């Protein structure tokens, strides 16, 4: 692997900040808002504030805040879903500190749904033995949270917001962060900082069918790998059981939130038979990995590309209010949820693995922090519990900010990148075609059910793609994305081949 993608034309503009945050989902915004106002901060996002996995999050945020619930019960459910591979200390922090972050969001005017008494409305999702998920505008939790946080960010004088900015690389000197390289095909700019927080989200675009937005090409993971950061648990990829099935869909998969099952939805095979009854004690609300595999088995048995989700016991009035986004999209696709079964199938949704961090979000590179889906704090283990992801974004981004508020490394030197002498090939290369090849390989060979022979074959093909890529000029965003996707996909395959036993979301049929 080469150290930098492209340093042929770097502009040392002199821009510098105490803290750089890459990614403006909930983790990035909340980190920025929790930083001391004395610290200058630059918040960068690949496209715009409304393009992120956080923005699309429907279900909600899990925390033990309802009567009769306790952080200990939330802890137990998180450990059970994670199949024993979780970091218990990290989960303890998550469940104990999380409720306070939810209350802070409420005081910051995130419009959580309230009942007639003005109390938070709380729903249930898979793997939770109690109702503990707060939500906003029914199924618009991520979008509404981001809107509220972005309004606050706009008022902060210490925060500079840079949309449409692509991260090419993290700049390091030895094991220390010195800043980042951003830019486009023709020019790269070096922004200096000794403290960089990666909140770049997931890498679902390495699969054909994902709920992730188009920007989720693993750019943070790729840059971290080139900088020498350690990744962990990369074999654990979460497939959400209920993506809306659309024949020949080429775009992002639309999610039918688990909260639909939390409000009584039942899975049925194409013969109309409810099939989760005897599969798990939590039935349709079993953890995601279990439900996804049961759905695949039904699809195979009935030779169908989907199963159904049945919520017809609820009225049109209830569903359009409780799930306005989902109700509207189903209607667009020709299904009235109050009358019709919804066709669904498992789709890639979340990466449990990521950049290994400690409980302060620190990585093995000094000054490099990671938070949210790009990070691996150990709270999810082999399978993430529903709606723990935004909670993790909140708790751990705040902890990073608090750490930096008391220990922010100052900039003292004017580091410049050593230029490599190597000339790269400028050949024509069909990036879009190669992206499809990669997605097909991962979808076929590193999905819900895996086996060694197929994964090894896929890895060999990706090694060949990598051999081509490392000799090419990688100056455009599109090539950089493919480069990142290729390396992230190889990491997933290597870890998945190494783990011979099935556990959580990693299921080996061999
Ligand atoms: C959902 O609404 O089902 C997704 C929530 C999550 O991914 O935690």
Query: Ligand 1 centroid vs 84 CA: distance in angstroms?
Result: 21
Q: What is the 3-state secondary structure (H, E, C) of 419-459?
A: CCCCCCECCCCCHHHHHHHHHHHHHHHCCCEECHHHHHHHH
In the block, which residue shows the tokens 């991260």? 167
- The sign one gets for the Cα dihedral 384, 207, 142, 368 is positive
| 470 vs 458: CA distance, rounded Å | 18
Q: Counting beta carbons within 10 angstroms of the beta carbon of residue 429, is it exposed (0 to 12), middle (13 to 18) or buried (19 or more)?
A: middle
Instruction: Kindly report, residue by residue over 291-311, the tens digit of the pLDDT.
Output: 999 999 999 999 999 999 999
What pLDDT score was predicted for residue 411? 79
Ligand 1 binding pocket mutation candidate from 259, 386, 390, 391 (most atoms within 8 A of CB): 386
Instruction: Kindly report, residue by residue over 26-47, the tens digit of the pLDDT.
Output: 999 999 999 999 999 999 999 9
| 236 vs 147: CA distance, rounded Å | 31
- How many CA atoms lie less than 13 Å away from 44 in the CB half-sphere? 23
Query: Ligand 1 centroid vs 372 CA: distance in angstroms?
Result: 14
Q: For ligand 1, is residue 59 a contact (CB within 6 Å)?
A: yes
What pLDDT score was predicted for residue 324? 96
Query: Ligand 1 centroid vs 323 CA: distance in angstroms?
Result: 13
Q: Looking at residues 408-416, what average pLDDT do you find? A: 82
Q: For ligand 1, is residue 58 a contact (CB within 6 Å)?
A: yes
> Looking at the chain, how many residues does it have?
510
State how beta strands 188-192 and 10-11 pair. Answer: parallel
Q: Which residue has the higher pLDDT, 12 or 271?
A: 271
Which domains, and CATH codes, for the chain? 10-153+161-236+352-406 (3.50.50.60), 241-348 (3.90.700.10), 431-498 (1.20.58.100)
Residue 17 pLDDT greater than 90, yes or no: yes
What pLDDT score was predicted for residue 166? 97
What pLDDT score was predicted for residue 300? 96
Query: Ligand 1 centroid vs 384 CA: distance in angstroms?
Result: 10
Buried b / exposed e over 323-359, threshold 16 CB at 10 Å, is bebbbebbeeeebebbebbbbbbbbbbbbbbbbbbbe
Instruction: Kindly report, residue by residue over 309-352, the tens digit of the pLDDT.
Output: 999 999 999 999 999 999 999 999 999 999 999 999 999 999 99
Do the Cβ atoms of 72 and 98 come closer than 8 Å?
no
Q: Which are the contacts of 237, defined by CB distance < 8 A and separation ≥ 6?
A: 348, 350, 351, 352, 353, 446, 492, 505
- Ligand 1, residue 387: give the atom nearest the CA: 8
Q: How far is CA 81 from the centre of its chain?
A: 17
What pLDDT score was predicted for residue 216? 98
Instruction: Kindly report, residue by residue over 130-149, the tens digit of the pLDDT.
Output: 999 999 999 999 999 999 99
Q: Looking at the DSSP assignment, which residues form a beta bridge with residue 347?
A: 240
Residue 420 pLDDT greater than 80, yes or no: no
What pLDDT score was predicted for residue 169? 98
Kind plus residue range of the DSSP H or E element containing 484: helix 477-498
Annotated catalytic residues are 288
Whole-number mean pLDDT of the chain?
Answer: 95
Q: Which of 385, 375, 10 is nearest to 198 (CA)?
A: 375
Q: How far is CA 376 from CA 229, 235, 247, 392, 396, in A?
A: 12, 12, 34, 10, 11
Ligand 1 binding pocket mutation candidate from 25, 56, 59 (most atoms within 8 A of CB): 59
């Amino acid at each position: 692997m080469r150290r930098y993608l492209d340093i042929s034309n770097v502009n040392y503009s002199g821009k510098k900040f105490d803290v750089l945050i890459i990614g403006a989902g909930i983790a990035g915004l909340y980190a920025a808002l929790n930083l001391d106002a004395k610290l200058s901060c630059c918040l960068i996002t690949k496209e715009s504030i409304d393009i992120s996995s956080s923005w699309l999050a429907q279900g909600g945020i899990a925390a033990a805040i309802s009567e009769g619930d306790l952080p200990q019960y939330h802890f137990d459910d998180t450990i059970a879903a994670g199949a024993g591979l979780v970091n218990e200390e990290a989960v303890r922090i998550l469940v104990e500190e999380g409720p306070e972050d939810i209350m802070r969001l409420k005081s910051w005017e995130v419009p959580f749904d309230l009942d007639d008494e003005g109390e938070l409305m709380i729903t249930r999702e898979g793997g939770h033995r109690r109702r503990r998920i707060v939500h906003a505008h029914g199924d618009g939790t991520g979008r509404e949270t981001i809107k509220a946080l972005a309004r606050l960010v706009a008022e902060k004088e210490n925060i500079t917001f840079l949309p449409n900015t692509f991260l090419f690389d993290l700049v390091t000197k030895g094991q220390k962060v010195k800043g980042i390289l951003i830019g486009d095909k023709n020019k790269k700019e070096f922004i200096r900082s000794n403290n960089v927080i990666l909140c770049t989200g997931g890498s679902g675009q390495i699969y054909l069918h994902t709920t992730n937005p188009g920007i989720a090409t693993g750019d943070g993971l790729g840059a971290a790998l080139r900088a020498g950061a350690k990744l962990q648990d990369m074999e654990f990829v979460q497939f959400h059981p209920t993506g809306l099935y659309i024949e020949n869909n080429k775009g992002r998969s639309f999610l039918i939130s688990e909260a639909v099952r939390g409000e009584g939805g039942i899975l049925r095979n194409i013969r109309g038979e409810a099939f989760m009854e005897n599969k798990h004690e939590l039935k349709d609300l079993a953890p995601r990995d279990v439900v996804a595999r049961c759905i695949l088995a039904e699809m195979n048995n009935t030779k169908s590309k989907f199963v159904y989700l049945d919520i017809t016991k609820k009225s049109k009035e209830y569903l359009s209010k409780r799930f306005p986004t989902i109700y509207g999209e189903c209607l667009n696709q020709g299904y009235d949820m109050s009358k019709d079964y919804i066709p669904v199938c498992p789709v890639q949704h979340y990466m449990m693995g990521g950049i290994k961090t400690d409980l302060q979000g620190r990585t093995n590179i000094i000054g490099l922090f990671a938070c949210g889906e790009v990070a691996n704090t150990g709270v999810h283990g082999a399978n993430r519990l529903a709606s723990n992801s935004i909670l993790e974004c909140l708790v751990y981004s705040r902890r990073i900010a608090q750490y930096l508020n008391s220990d922010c490394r100052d900039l003292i030197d004017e580091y410049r990148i050593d230029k490599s002498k190597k000339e790269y090939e400028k050949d024509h290369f069909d990036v879009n075609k190669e992206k499809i090849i990669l997605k097909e390989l991962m979808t076929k060979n590193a999905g819900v059910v895996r086996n060694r022979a197929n994964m090894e074959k896929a890895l060999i093909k990706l090694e060949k793609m990598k051999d081509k890529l490392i000799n090419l000029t990688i100056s455009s965003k599109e090539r950089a994305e493919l480069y990142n996707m290729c390396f992230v996909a190889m990491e997933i395959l290597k870890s998945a081949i190494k783990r011979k036993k099935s556990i959580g979301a990693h299921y080996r049929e061999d």
